[in-house]
Amino acid sequence: MRAGLGFTLIELTVAIAIVGVLATLSYAGYEASWEKSNFRTMREFGVELALSQQLHRQRYGRYAQGVSSNGTPNANRLILPSSAKYRVLVSNSDFRGYRAEVTPSAGAPLKLPEACRTLIVESDMGIQRFGARSAANQNTSDRCVPHG
């Protein structure tokens, strides 16, 4: 009789296989949570951008046409230090509104969900709207920005 000698090789192999499967499943969930967190951070930057654009309009009478992370603000450029992580493309900027597309910059790539690759920040006559586009350039605002 073999009492108290330890585990057999088959028992150890099964235990390691179970731990491996559990680790694989938990990592996938962790990675999805991390991607959603990165997009939430990008949405927070979008809110900061929208508020800064409103202040810029009050100061200069129009929305900024560009965003930079350093330098001196002027009538055409908005300075946001947190924009170093993002590429911000502002279009249709005038005294009534603007449209900005926010994506992660090449220097600081953020892993984002496939459905939420680009954040859209729009203002028309002072009404702010947020939206999103997928990697395939489809409108995914209802999934990524539910209260946009």
pLDDT tens readout for residues 117-126: 999 999 998 8
Q: Residues 28, 30, 32, 34: is their CA dihedral positive or negative?
A: negative
Q: Each residue of 82-91: pLDDT tens digit?
A: 888 999 999 9
Q: Return the number of other C-beta atoms located less than 10 Å from residue 80's C-beta.
A: 19
Q: What pTM value is reported for the model? A: 0.78
SS3 label, residue 91:
strand
CA within 13 Å, CB half, 97: 10
Q: Is pLDDT of 1 > 60?
A: no
> Which class for 118: exposed (0-12), middle (13-18), buried (19 or more C-beta within 10 A)?
buried
Domains and CATH numbers, the chain: 9-144 (3.30.700)
